[in-house]
Amino acid sequence: MPKPSWITLALVLAMGETALAAPPMPDLSESAINSASFEDWTARQQAADAAAENPGDQPADDDAAAPVEDGDEPAPPEGSQTASPTAEPPAEAEPEDAPDPFMIRVQVLLDRAHASPGVIDGRSGGNTEKAIRAYEEAHDMSVDGVVDEALWKALSVDGGAAVKTYQLTREDIDQRYISEIPSDYGAMAKLDCLCYRGPSEMLAERFHMDEKLLLALNPGADFKSTDTKLIVADPGAPPEGEVDHIVVDKSKGELFAYDADNRVLMSAPATIGSDDTPSPSGTMKVNGSAPNPTYEYDPDKNFQQGKNRKKLTIPAGPNGPVGAMWIDLSKPTYGIHGAPEPSQIGKTGSHGCVRLTNWDAEALAELVQPAKTTVEFKG
């Protein structure tokens, strides 16, 4: 590949403050999130669309902007500054990648209404669209999965704060953590706990958040001090009732839990099998549930992980293969369970089981009725 000429690099530097300038980051303070409005979000979306359509004026002198072939470029003027071909611009979040205060509020209110968006991360995405569709269906609204005025009018009936202040406790700081989690099951089996990696990961899961969002809301926070106060999501109380039947919809990548009157008690995005190890079909029953389970790995019964050809007992913990909860199904080796990486729900495959965030699996486990709740796989 030809090296960039000094002319090209100089133009990039000269244009840095215009064509490459990013819009200001949205305010992620507690007050800004709790007062975020649909109108402000719509204005930000329109501004972003306009910026995408007009990325910046091109240089007026076409000759000066023309590329120069490698080896033909003139020497830079004496005393001029040039950029190294390997130099990279400062790493700044792209506008579309930045969490939005209004989307944080929307996701919290969806979660509080038991239409789980998975991790609360302040970004639009597939799992949030699933949650919106589930909410719209449950409330007899026109179903399109889009954040619009009708959805916001319904959600904002809940006028409670979306985020709150939380002060770290000694228990938060002193509980057991593990610095690194191996990916190999053989290495996992040698440990005695697949605990959280640290207080930020633990608290992110407690408040249903993406850990990156927790850190973005609390830049520079000291997670080792009881004096630290954090901005966290307030997802509200867990769902209540008794689940009569569960529908695992493979086509939607989503789980729905219904009571005996066919009312949705909760919905959640789910990872449901994979091409290599598809999930089962048909209907089965819930045998029971087990919090903080160990995992019995048997390559002869299900799948082989890496070079592990022998049975292994993987220790318990939220970062284990089945997360913090196992809901056992009547079909042997299959279950509904938690996950060590909540942000990957619905984005990666599973080994045939139904994978939820740890908190969604824990909420569902409180609602199922052993030997009575049925689970239907469809789609």
What amino acid positions are annotated as catalytic residues?
337, 353
- State how beta strands 245-249 and 374-378 pair: parallel
CA-based nearest residue to 193, from 294, 75, 288: 294
267's CB contacts (< 8 A; 6+ apart) are 114, 115, 116, 130, 131, 134, 138, 254, 255, 256, 257
How far apart are alpha carbons 114 and 148 in whole angstroms?
A: 19
Quick one: how far is CA 129 from the chain centroid? 13
Six token digits for residue 204? 């992110």
300 close to 180: Cβ distance less than 8 angstroms: no
What single letter denotes the amino acid at residue 364? L
335 close to 353: Cβ distance less than 8 angstroms: yes
CA-based nearest residue to 359, from 296, 250, 268, 233: 268
